[in-house]
Structures are given as C-alpha cells and as structure tokens.
Structure 1
Amino acid sequence: MSEMQELVLLEIDTRGVATVTLNRPHIHNAFNDDVVRRLGAIWADLAGRGDVRVVVLRGAGKSFSAGGDLDWMRKSGQATPEQNRASTLNMARMLKSLNDLPQAVLALVQGNCMAGGTGLASGADIVVATRAAQFALTEVRLGLTPATISPYVVAAMGARQARRYFLTGERFGAEEACRIGLVHEVVADETALETRGAELVAALLQGAPGAIRDSKVLIGRVANRGVDDEIMEFTARNIADRRASAEGQEGLAAFFEKRKPNWAT
C-alpha cells in the first residue's frame, strides 16, 4: 500500500459495501492536500462502480475528523494566489463528488467532527454520531470562512442555524447536532455506533441500487423548489421510468410473489 493510500483506507466487501476510513488518527484525521486528493480519487472510482451499493465513511481512532490540518493551512499562506485557489477548488470538487455519489453514503461519527470534518459528514446521506461526539464550525476563530463546505452544511442544518454556528464557532454536542438536522441519530457509544451502522447498512442493501441513485437525484431536484410545470414533468418522468425499469418490475413481482427481490441480501 502506498503512502497516499494509507492516508485514507478503502475496503470493499462481498456485499458491495465500501468502507472509507480517514486514517491519520495521531492528528484526529485532519486533512491536507494529499488527503483531499485521495478522497477525490476514491469518490471518482466508486461513482463508476456498479458493484458498490453502500459507502460507509468513518475516521480511525478517537475522532471522525478535526477538519483541516492547521500546519497545512498555515503553510498555504505562503503559497501563490493561484496555488491557493487550486487547493481550495480541489476541496470543493472533492466535496461535490461525495455529495453526488450514486450510492447511499453513511457517516459514522465519533469524537471530534470539526470544520471540514463537519463538511464531510454533511455530504453523507445518513449521519449517526455517538453521544460524546463534538461538532464545530470554527473557521471564523482562525480568520477564515467555512466556504467550500457551506453548501452541504447549510443544506443539512438550514440557513438559520448556520447563521449562529458559522459566526460563533462554538462547539455543540451530538444531541444539538441531531436537533438541528446535521445528524440523524445519536447512539450511546462507539460499540452502539458499530451496531447501528451495521443495521443501517443492512437496511440500505434492501433498496434497489438504481432506485437509490434516482431517489438522490430526485431530492436534489425538488429540494427548496416550488411545484411548477418543470418539477411536475420531472417527477412524473422519474416514477414512470422507475415503473418500467427492470428493477421496478422485479420489485413489484417480488412483492406479489412474497419473495425478496433479486438485489436484496
């Protein structure tokens, strides 16, 4: 395994579950340009793989991710404006690639989930956190802004909550993160996190891969939109295509025949 591969681990099991693990536990999985490039390459690979159905995103050690490596960000101040923009654009592209994955993405969060780490979690479809997990968007305290992560964090917690937490930089716990929509579920500890993660993966594997992909596209199109002719046409076409698809026909047949559909494990 190369040094780059060791920064973020990728394992794919026989069920088609890809586990992506941030692997810098000695610095709470803070990321730098190399980590961003590695994540971007993983998302690009997974997006094109028909054999991968679920993606689990997690952090090794005590924390999910403390966000950007502070030494890396300090050194970026010595880079040229062009180098700085290239670095931040790579981050923006990596986050969009995560957000746009056709597979269901489950983030399992323990310990610190700060700044860019919160951005990564916000790009997942489902987030489960331990009760002791801590979140924060601390950029303003460093004279920065949570710019590249903002589309995903605001989509998760809403603009009103973002106006508080982007501006104060204060820490908040998992229960508060759940209350404001950043987290879906809170569990007691890391043992419970493993158990609940396995349960959710099993539930996701009951869904048809193409239907999950199209459901994610559907959410992206209708979120924060009024119902107009374009939306009605899109949603009608979405379900019409699904009904006529091989998955749709198999799913309906399996229901009436009282059996599992061919994609269910």
Structure 2
Amino acid sequence: MESLPHCETLLLEKQGPALLVTINRPDVRNAMSLQMVAELSTVFAQIEADPIIRAVVLRGAGGHFCAGGDIKDMAGARTQPAADGEADPFYRLNRAFGQMIQQVNESSKVVIAVIEGAVMGGGFGLACVSDVALAGPTAKFGMPETSLGIIPAQIAPFVVERIGLTQARRLALLGLKIGAAEAERLGIVHQTADSDGQLEELLAQALERVRHCAPGATAETKALLHRVGKEPMSGLLDSAAEKFAQAVRGTEGNEGTMAFMQKRPPKWAEND
C-alpha cells in the first residue's frame, strides 16, 4: 500500500492485512476533534482502493474508546458568527462528523471496533457503524446529548439501524449510560470480554476469520447488506443474482472452488 498518511490524533500500524487505527488523545479520553474527523476520513479514503488492507481495527489509547465531541471545538464554533451566505459553524462541525461516520459505515473493509472505557456520543456512533464490535469489561456506552441540551443529530440514524427504533428511543430520550453486558444484549456489540487478555484473543480470532474470507466477496457482501430495506426486494435479488454469477465465474470463485476440491486453504487465507 502507499505510505500511511501523517496523523497527529491517530496512531497507524499495518499488521498483515489489517490496519490498526488507535485514537490517540488520551488526555481528553479521545474526544473527537475536527482534526480527528478529518484524519479518519483521510485514512479511510486512502485505504478504500488498497487491496492489501482487508480490515481496519479502531480502538482508543489510554483505556477509553472515544468520549464524544471535543468541547474546545464546540466552544470555538460558538464564537464564530454565521456569516451571510455561509452555513452555521455548528452545522459544519456536526455535518463533518456525519460525513466521516457514513464513510466508515460504507467502507468496503471489515471494520472492527475494540471498545474500552468511555463510548459516548460520537464514539457511540462510531461503534455502531463497525462490522464487528468487541467490548472489554470497562466499556460504558451512552447517548448523553439530551441531558446536555443538544441532540444526537448525526449518530441517531446509525443507532436506529444498529439496534432498532424501540431501543434507540430509550437510550436517546433518557440519555442513558449502559455497560458492556447490556450493550451486547441490545446488539451494539457482538462479544464482551472479561479481561484485557480475552479482549485481545477475541480481536485475534476476528482478524483470523477476516483472513479466511475472500476480500472481494467480503466487500460485495457488505455492500449488499447495506442495500437491504432501502430498495425493492425483487430488484435487489435480481442484482444480487448478477453479483453471484460474476463472483462464481471470477478469480476468487475459481480459486475458492479449486481450494475446496484440493482440500487446501485458498490463496487469500495464506499468511503474509
């Protein structure tokens, strides 16, 4: 892949077919600044066309995932009057985050969130757009916006997609904070760990499964899943059948079939 972009708020490390992205603002519990939003967007844009990177691991430094929006950015936006003909600074701030989280949601890569400590506001939204979410014992999830007199404007649609309207109503309208066990019960996370060591084991297992799945087929499957409920079923199934035929006749389909018949791992499952 191309050299990784220089980031001030993120630590980037390539590990086989995975890119480890660590949010690195531990002094503010990894609160999400405009700079961090821009850097995450840049990273996901750069790796989108990179065939070597098949998974992105998102986690936070210092024992916290992400405590929500950065208060300094909010204060800065408050001091900027909305100029004639220009969008309100708060609109631009909020919408920039929404564009980034949509980009993560629609990434063709497998996004794995490793979650510890504070998972609030925007951090909660980021967890809700992961493909695989793994929570440690210290994880605390919340949508505190209404208790602060604001609204979860950009994350609410993704929370509804994740856990359904009924549960999203309760969390958002009461500004609740919940632990890892309830987050797993609601479907926010897929697995919870009792210790840091077990959390690392769950991550290793997930990355091993990514390695065994064909990257092209994985990307097409993720794109197909995102279309469910957004277009008529008949047309969706017609399109899916076309994608299936292309996959069967494609390079990965041929390799997968040969590997199965020859009782060997497919090439994409080989260790780098």
Under TM normalisation by the shorter chain, which class is it?
over 0.9
Alignment of 1:25-36 (within 5 A): 25-36=26-37
Q: Tell me the residue number matched to 1:179.
A: 185
- Partner AA of 1:250 in structure 2: E
- Partner AA of 2:12 in structure 1: L
Matched, 1:120 2:135: no
Q: 2:242 aligns with which of 213, 228, 237?
A: 237
Note the C-alpha offset of 1:235: 1.9
- Residues in 1 aligned to 2:161 and 2:149: alpha-carbon distance in whole angstroms: 23
Q: Tell me the residue number matched to 2:251.
A: 246
- Residues in 2 aligned to 1:179 and 1:10: alpha-carbon distance in whole angstroms: 31
Alignment of 1:169-248 (within 5 A): 169-222=175-228, 224=229, 228-248=233-253
- Residues in 1 aligned to 2:72 and 2:44: alpha-carbon distance in whole angstroms: 25
Identity %: 35
Q: Tell me the residue number matched to 2:22.
A: 21
- The question of whether the paired residues in 1 share the 8 Å contact of 2:74 and 2:90 is answered with no
- The question of whether the paired residues in 2 share the 8 Å contact of 1:25 and 1:60 is answered with yes
Name the Cα RMSD after superposition.
1.4
Cα 1:179–1:37 change in 2 (3 A) is same
Q: 1:115-171, CA deviations, whole angstroms, 9 ceiling, x for partnerless residues? A: 100011111100000122100001111111111112221111111111000111111
- Partner AA of 1:197 in structure 2: L
Q: 1:73-101, CA deviations, whole angstroms, 9 ceiling, x for partnerless residues? A: 23322223423222222111111111111
Q: Tell me the residue number matched to 2:3.
A: none
Cα 1:97–1:227 change in 2 (3 A) is closer
Matched, 1:259 2:260: no
Q: 1:108 aligns with which of 114, 139, 163?
A: 114
Q: Please, which runs of 5 or more residues in structure 2 have no aligned partner?
A: 1-5
User: How many equivalent residue pairs?
Assistant: 260
Note the C-alpha offset of 1:226: 7.9
- Partner AA of 1:103 in structure 2: K
- Partner AA of 1:23 in structure 2: N
- The question of whether the paired residues in 1 share the 8 Å contact of 2:13 and 2:19 is answered with yes
- Partner AA of 1:135 in structure 2: F
Note the C-alpha offset of 1:10: 1.4
- Residues in 1 aligned to 2:170 and 2:80: alpha-carbon distance in whole angstroms: 31
Q: Tell me the residue number matched to 2:97.
A: 91
Cα 1:228–1:197 change in 2 (3 A) is closer
- Residues in 2 aligned to 1:153 and 1:259: alpha-carbon distance in whole angstroms: 41
- Residues in 1 aligned to 2:103 and 2:80: alpha-carbon distance in whole angstroms: 25
- Partner AA of 1:257 in structure 2: Q
- Residues in 2 aligned to 1:143 and 1:70: alpha-carbon distance in whole angstroms: 14
Note the C-alpha offset of 1:6: 2.6
Q: How does the TM-score come out when normalised to structure 2?
A: 0.91
Alignment of 1:121-200 (within 5 A): 121-200=127-206
Q: 1:54-81, CA deviations, whole angstroms, 9 ceiling, x for partnerless residues? A: 1100001121110111232233222234
Note the C-alpha offset of 1:238: 2.0
